[in-house]
Every structure is written in C-alpha cells, then in structure tokens.
Chains A and B, each alone.
Chain A
Amino acid sequence: MPGPGFRRGDRVALRPVEREDVVFLRRWWNAPAVRRRLPASRPVDEAAAEERFEEWLSDEAMPTFLVTPAADDDRLGFCHLFDVGDDNGRAKVSAWLKPDAQGRGYGVAAVRQLVAYAFEERRLERLSAGVLADNDAARATLEAAGFRQEGRQRGHSFVESERVDRVLYGLLREEWEG
C-alpha cells in the first residue's frame, strides 16, 4: 500500500517512505549504476536498510520522500533534505532516480518539489548540493531547478580507481523563482 501523498506537482509527487519501500530503496542503493553516482561503495543488506529506515523516523533533520509519478504510485526514486539547520536556515539536498526513470524530466520535477518544500514549508533560506563532476545529468537537473555552481572540490571522491572532482551548488531563497 502506498503512503499518502505529501506534495503533488504536475509531473511527480513526493510521499513519505513506508516500510514496504525499503526493498525498492535497497535494490538501488546497491546497484552499481546508481551508487556509482552518489558515490556509495558499501553494500546495504536487509538489516542495514531497516536500520536506516528506523533512523529516519526519529531524525527531524532528514525529511525523506519517495518520488512517484503525479498520476500513480510507481516508485521512481528517492529524495531528501539532510543536515537541516534551523538556526542558520539551511539544508542539503539529495536525490536519485532508478535508471529507467532518468532522462524524462522526473528529476527536475522532484528537485523542484523538494526546493519548494524547503522554502515554503520549512522556512529555510539556503539549500546546497554536491555532485560528482562527471555526473552531467545531475548537474543539469540542479541547474534547471535554479541551483548555481559555487565551488569545486578537487579529487573529492575515489570512483573506479580515479579521483573525481565534486562540484558544489547552492540556491538561495531570495533568488528562487517559486
């Protein structure tokens, strides 16, 4: 049974993550095609995935959402804020889609929903994100959602035997065209 909708746009909806979704998350957390981009290099077994899920339930600094099409409950991906700091009014953004849901505009739509949630519902004033420099799709998604490049961490991650730069993006409430 899908969880109730939380935010619904024209293209995608964000809804709370339910226990039944953990199988979906676990599949893609482990899949080389998805985790290489994060990057994440450790396996997540059933027990570890359940532990993550339980931790979210009590972590107000990390609101998590399942991404579905606006019209039905297909599981497309996962997005969340993390390191939400209310005093400074900022948070970080993370999102991924399963491979066959990529390249169809779902990512931009999901990030836009997440940004609107952060600014309009959580009263945040700054969002940031970091992506591997060679992840052109994620960079285009962030830029389409209004993020601007702010920096580059050289040789940040070790991916497939090579050090890969990480590009930092930021978006301020005042420059956001909600």
Chain B
Amino acid sequence: MPGPVFLEGERICLHTIDRDDLPFLQRWHNDPGVRAGVTLADPRNERQQEEWYESLDDDSIGLLVCPREDVSGLRDVTAVGGDGAEDLAPVGYISLFRVDATHGNAELYCWMVPDAREKGYATDATRTMLRYAFEERRLHKVVCRALETNEASIGVFENLGLVREGRQRDEKYVGGKYVDVFRYAMLADEWDDGTAGAGGNGGN
C-alpha cells in the first residue's frame, strides 16, 4: 500500500514509502533474482528493513514504482479520490542516492520485480527520476551503474541516452566471480525532457 504520488511518469507513478510497504521491500531486497542485479549480498531482516526506512535522509530518496493503472487496468491512480492509493501494488523501487549538492551530482538505481520486467516500467521510472534530478533538484549529473552482465539495465540506460563513461574492472563479486561494472551518466544539458528514447522498447 504505497504512500501518495510524488512523481508522475507516463505509465508509472513514483510513490512515497509507507511502513506498510516495508514487507514488500524486505521480500525483494532478499530475493536472489532482484538483489543480484543491484549487488546486495547482505540478508535483511524485518528490524533491519525498518532501520533502513528510519535512516532515509536528504542525501537519499527512495520511491516505489507503481503502474498508473491498477491490476484491473481501469483506474488511473492519480485520479483516486481518497487520501492514498490503498490497494495499489508496487512493482519496483527507484532511488536517487549519494546526492552531492556541492558538486551537483547523484547516483540512481532501480529494480523491478520479475513479473514487471520488459514492460517499459524501468525506463519510464528512470526517465521520471532523471527529470526530477535535473528539473527540480538542479543537479548537473546523474550516474547509473550496472553489472556488465545486466543487459536489461544497460538497455534502459542506452535507451534513455545516457553515455557510457567507463568500465570498472572486477568491481563486484557476484555468483562466485568478479564482474565488471559499466558506469553511465547523463548531464543536465543532455537531458531532453524525457523524449530521448521514447520510441524504444523499454528494456528492463
């Protein structure tokens, strides 16, 4: 039961996190198929998930990704008359973190639950968060990183026009071996109001 809408994309909205959402986050933070992509190797119990929630501060923003239409495919959540979005199911998480206002940069990462992949949600969520970073937070640069083996994330970054800046050799240890990480970034003057890649197939 995500909190209110904070940012609106084309097909998804990004919602604030309620305490009720912590089981969702805990489940997927522990799930091998999700945490492999974001290279989380530590188990997270209920208490640790709550501590994580309480520790969110201005240097790190986390939002839940929800399709604009609910499961019945009929209702636009932004038009819900109530105070929240009580019966919506989140399908992923996106974060803008390491926000450094002095240098005007931040990092962004996103994961989607397996059933919600290949629908363009990750692309839309990433585009929406980039818009926020550049148009509301006045940041100059946003960095996204992905394992070399993570074709879905790399597809999202390239679809949105991020530039590959480098290969970090043996940066992560995943599945018993070291894996390179690609570093992508977009600069504020490369941001094109989200129209870049609009014709793409959505990637992740």
> CB within 8 Å of B: which residues of A?
23-24, 26-32, 41-47, 158-161
- Main SS of the interface on chain B? mixed
With most chain B CB atoms within 10 A of its CB, the pick from A23, A26, A47 is A47
6 tightest A-B CB contacts, nearest first = A27-B4, A30-B4, A41-B136, A45-B16, A30-B6, A161-B135
Bound-state CA distance A131–B138 (Å) is: 20
**When A23-B84, A27-B4 are in contact, do A47 and B19 touch as well, CB less than 8 Å?**
yes
Bound-state CA distance A29–B136 (Å) is: 15
Q: How many of B's residues come within 8 Å of A, CB to CB?
A: 24
**When A27-B84, A32-B8 are in contact, do A41 and B137 touch as well, CB less than 8 Å?**
yes
**When A43-B61, A47-B53 are in contact, do A26 and B16 touch as well, CB less than 8 Å?**
yes
Bound-state CA distance A28–B137 (Å) is: 19
Bound-state CA distance A23–B20 (Å) is: 13
> CB within 8 Å of A: which residues of B?
3-8, 16-19, 53-54, 56, 58, 61, 63, 83-84, 132, 134-138
Residues of B within 8 A of A23 (CB): 83-84
Q: Are B3 and A30 in contact (CB-based, < 8 A)?
A: yes
Residues of A within 8 A of B63 (CB): 43
Can you pick out 10 interface pairs between chain A and chain B where the beta carbons lie within 8 Å of each other? A30-B3, A31-B4, A43-B16, A45-B56, A46-B17, A46-B19, A47-B53, A47-B54, A47-B56, A161-B134
User: Shortest distance in angstroms between B24's beta carbon and chain A's nearest beta carbon?
Assistant: 14
Residues of B within 8 A of A43 (CB): 6, 16, 61, 63
Closest to A46 in B: B18
Q: Which residue of the partner chain, among A26, A42, A47, A161, contacts B58 with CB atoms under 8 Å?
A: A42
Bound-state CA distance A26–B85 (Å) is: 12
**When A23-B84, A47-B19 are in contact, do A32 and B53 touch as well, CB less than 8 Å?**
no
Bound-state CA distance A41–B132 (Å) is: 8
Q: Are B17 and A45 in contact (CB-based, < 8 A)?
A: yes
Residues of A within 8 A of B83 (CB): 23-24, 27
With most chain B CB atoms within 10 A of its CB, the pick from A30, A31, A42, A45 is A45
